[in-house]
Amino acid sequence: MTTENLPGLPEEPVARKGMFGVKDSGDTSGYNRLVVRRAPKLSSSRPYGSYFDEVADALEPAFADAIERVVVDRGEVTFHVRRERLPEVMQHLRDDAALRFELSLGVSGVHYPEETGAELHAVYHLCSITHNRRVRVEVSCPDADPHIPSTVQVYPTHDWHERETYDFFGIVFDGHPALTRIEMPDDWEGHPQRKDYPLGGIPVEYRGAEVPAPDRRRSYS
């Protein structure tokens, strides 16, 4: 059964098919059959619902020029923030008594090659233990200038998370105490989770075993 036959999928139009630029060849991951039919929501209007309005009320007065947009989708809220104001916004989210997002659940990267001037995104998942709330903060930067301020000084656990995001996506976190690769070898070329990274052609040796490149493995259809 392909994704076209699965029940509960949104109707047309189809936004895109597949992942990582795959075109019906050599993909053993299953992403080749992914069908995305729903365009992302660009912004949301008030009222946001749930506790999201309270969070926005505590954040927006001090950072009206820093918040580019707010998106509420599928029961979650995302604050899109200008990259140069990120450390200030994150510290306010952590320290303000009405917010108290003391815990960061991590930093991840996303690559949107079709978003000219904002191809690379860093995403931060924050949790308030005090108020039992969660929010997402998202920052973008252009591929030609892949710099985002580090937030290690606000959330020390971002040390390794920012290193991983740099390793896999090439985002440079300015001010990070030691921004080096964390999973790939130091001399590795490129950033493997970008959508323009080649899927095949690189044989890998792991603990003495040779793993062939994806384009030389068995293809499932």
Tens-digit pLDDT profile for residues 154-211: 999 999 999 999 999 999 999 999 999 999 988 888 999 998 887 766 777 777 787 7
Q: Which domains does the chain have, with CATH numbers?
A: 43-188 (3.30.460.80)
Per-residue pLDDT at 187: 87
Task: Provide long-range contacts, Cβ within 8 A and 24+ apart, for 48-53.
Answer: 48/72, 48/77, 50/75, 50/77, 51/131, 51/133, 52/77, 52/135
Task: Check residue 204 and give its pLDDT.
Answer: 74
Tally the residues of the chain: 221
The predicted structure's pLDDT at residue 6: 47
CA distances from 160 to 50, 165, 192 (A): 32, 9, 17
pLDDT for res 20: 58
Alpha-carbon distance 36 to 83, whole Å? 28
- Non-local (6+) Cβ contacts of 204 within 8 A are 210, 211, 213
pLDDT value at residue 110:
95
The span from the first CA to the last CA of the chain, in angstroms, equals 11
pLDDT beneath 70: ranges in the chain:
1-40, 200-201, 215, 218-221
CA distance 133 to 105: 12
SS3 of residue 73 by DSSP:
strand
Q: Would you state the pLDDT for residue 206?
A: 72
User: Considering the entire predicted model, what is its pTM?
Assistant: 0.79
Which element (helix H / strand E) includes 57? helix 52-59
Per-residue pLDDT, 220: 55
Per-residue confidence (pLDDT) for residue 4, from 0 to 100: 46
At residue 45, the pLDDT reads 93
Q: Which two tokens stand for residue 104?
A: 């960061």
